[in-house]
Structures are given as C-alpha cells and as structure tokens.
Amino acid sequence: MAHSPVIRQLDETVINRIAAGEVVERPASAVKELVENAIDAGARRVDIAISDGGKGLIRVTDDGCGIPAADLPLALARHATSKIDGSDLLDIRSFGFRGEALASLGAVGRLTVTSRARGAGEAAQVSVTGGVMGAVTPAALTRGTVVELRDLFYATPARLKFMRTDRAEGQAIGDVVKRLALAEPSVGFTLRDVTGDGEGRVSFRADPETGDLFHALRGRVGRVLGSDFVENAIPLDADREGLRLTGLAALPTYSRGSAVAQYLFVNGRPVHDRLLIGALRAAYMDVLSRDRHPAAVLFIDCDPQLVDVNVHPAKAEVRFRERGTARGLIVSGLRHALAEAGHRASSTVAT
C-alpha cells in the first residue's frame, strides 16, 4: 500500500508567487495595480514609464499621500492594507482593498518602493527581489511615491513564456491607462515608453471640474478616445432602482469590427463584466448586424452596498445584487437614447 503523501505548509515566497499568478497576469495588470494605488493615494498626477512592453521596466510616479518609512515593510507584506478594516466588504470605495498587489509584484519581479509621506522630513526606500525584502534606507524624493518594477516574471519563467510581443503588451498597458484616465478625469496621466532611446508618449491632462457632467465627459472621452468618437456619440443619463447610468454611446454607424471600444465602469472602477457587455450588445441588437460591436463608455453608479466588487482577484468583475436591474437599465437607457437620436429599433423588445 502506498504511503500517504506528506502535507506541507508552503512558505511565504511560494504562497506569494501562486497568488501573483491571479493578480498579475501580464505587465498591464501590474500597471493597473500600481496606478490604482496612486489614485487611491489621492494623486493628482501619475507618470508611468515602461520598457520592453513592461517586462523590462514599469515605473509609476505619483504625488499622492506617500507611505511613512516605518510602514514600508508592511505595505509590501501580503494581506496588509490601509484601505479597509475588514468590517464591511460591501462598503469599498477605494480601488484596492486586498493588500496583495505589492506583495505579489515583489514575488515575481524586482520591486523598489520609494516614498515620502506627507509631512515627513525625508523619503525612504525598500526593495524586494524574489520575495526577499531588504532593509529600509533613506532616499531622496520630494513628495509622493515611486514604485519601480524591473524584470517582471524573471522569478516565474513559465509565465514569462506566455507573454506576447513587446508591442502587444505595450498596447495592453496603453489600454489600461486609457480606462483609468476615463475613470479619473481630474487626474493627469502620462505614459512613456523608454525602451532604447524612448519613443512613444501619451498624456491625458487633468480636466478642471466644471460641474457640467456631459461637458466634462466629452472633454475627457475626446482626449482619450479621440474627437471622432465624441462626435459620433450620444449622451446617456438614466436611472432605475438606485442604479444610475451615464456615459456616451456611439451611433450604430460608428460601430467596430471588434469589442475594443467598450469601456465599462462600476462606481468608478473599470470592469470587464459579462453581464454588462451582454446588456450593451442586447441594446444594439436591432440596429447593428451580428459581426459589428457597439462602441460606448458607460458608467454605472450606485450605493456600494448594491454591488460586490470582491469577486475576482484582479477586481475586473463585479456582482450586482439585482442583476436584472443592471441589465435592464443599460438596455432601456441605451435604446431610449438611440431612439431619440433617430435610430429607432425595428421592434421594441420589453426589458
């Protein structure tokens, strides 16, 4: 008879590496986590530099609240966060709350965090390589935080093999930055590709708050997605049972051959959610042929209690308490707006 296999408690580094597989799928996921941290820190400006599709370098610089030197080791530890106290997982207003990103990144790349907490006399720095943390040392930085991640996935060669070309990974990073720029119009962003001599650069400047929703929306959407999109889009503003839908939806004539131009946000969080994407498709069903995809920027806002964001480690999916309400709001809100714009659906389907 075979012996029972030995059950072992895995060590911290291995645990972090396993968790990192879910949180950091590719360089764009690392950029997403770091930029979200900057926004959570109240940054007004976020500068991102990448090289080699993010595999060589990702550096995110912000002017947010910073991290006190004494807290740096904790910030890099797993399940350590300043954003929730755990008492109400349905009342989450920050991007982060799982306390996993920095620990995961430190397990699969060479991570250095330099930060100066507001009011602190000097900055401090700490590095983690392959899950092993060095000492906290004094550093030079006037404000905010700089997180530098080099050689992503060097510690997990199997994952590295799954990376696509630098160009494709760089595009995915650009897409993440676009989504977060759409979500945060009052924050300025720059994204620089410093591979070799440094070519590409995009920047979305911070928009002044005007109080006029559609003016602001058109401004930022125009700068991020192009004025073409805005000129071919109609404004949305509808609500249903505590959920509000706002955004810009492109006319059917401005549809795309793929689903690339669909930007969905729930309480300011960019999501890739099947329920919402399905509702978007359904709304255009009668005015768009099957091989075309609607282009739209949709924001759904509601009391955080009505939606669970703790569904997926990368927080890309959400779960509405009333799924039917969310779907119905999108379908009817969009159909109504399209009909007003003269693209009345050939048949009226009850929602």
Which residues contribute to the site for ligand ADP (CB under 6 A)? 33, 37-38, 41, 62, 64-67, 75, 81-83, 96-103, 145
Query: What is the token pair recorded at 58?
Result: 């990702």
CB of 124 to ligand ADP, least distance (A): 12
In the complex, what is the shortest distance from the CB of residue 39 to ligand ADP, in angstroms, rounded to a whole number?
Answer: 9
What is the closest distance, in whole angstroms, from the C-beta atom of residue 38 to ligand ADP in the complex?
A: 5
Is 14 in a helix, a strand, or coil?
helix
In contact, 294 and 252? CB cutoff 8 Å:
yes
Distance in Å, CB of 33 to Mg ion, minimum: 5
Q: Which residues have a Cβ under 8 Å from the Cβ of 37 and sit 6 or more positions away?
A: 60, 62, 95, 96, 101, 102, 145, 147
- State in angstroms the smallest separation of the CB of 222 from Mg ion: 29
Closest residue to Mg ion in the complex (CB): 96
Cα dihedral 29, 31, 33, 34, rounded to 10, equals 160
| CB closer to ligand ADP, 97 vs 204 | 97
**How many helices and strands (H and E) does the chain possess?**
10, 16
Q: Which is nearer to ligand ADP, 101 or 233 (CB)?
A: 101
Least distance between ligand ADP and beta carbon 243 (Å): 26
Which residue's CB is nearer to ligand ADP, number 67 or number 287?
A: 67
Select 81 or 246, whichever has its Cβ closest to ligand ADP: 81
Tell me if 101 contacts Mg ion by CB under 5 A: yes
Orientation angle between helical segments 323-340 and 274-284, nearest 10 degrees = 30
96 binds Mg ion (CB under 5 A): yes
Instruction: Give the containing element (helix H, strand E) for 27.
Output: helix 27-40
Distance, in Å, from the CA atom of 191 to the CA atom of 208, rounded to the nearest integer, reads 20
Over the window 19 to 38, marking each residue x when it contacts Mg ion by CB under 5 A and - when it does not, the resulting string is: ------------------x-
Decide whether 108 or 337 has the Cβ nearer to ligand ADP: 108
Interface residues with Mg ion (CB under 5 A)?
A: 37, 96, 101
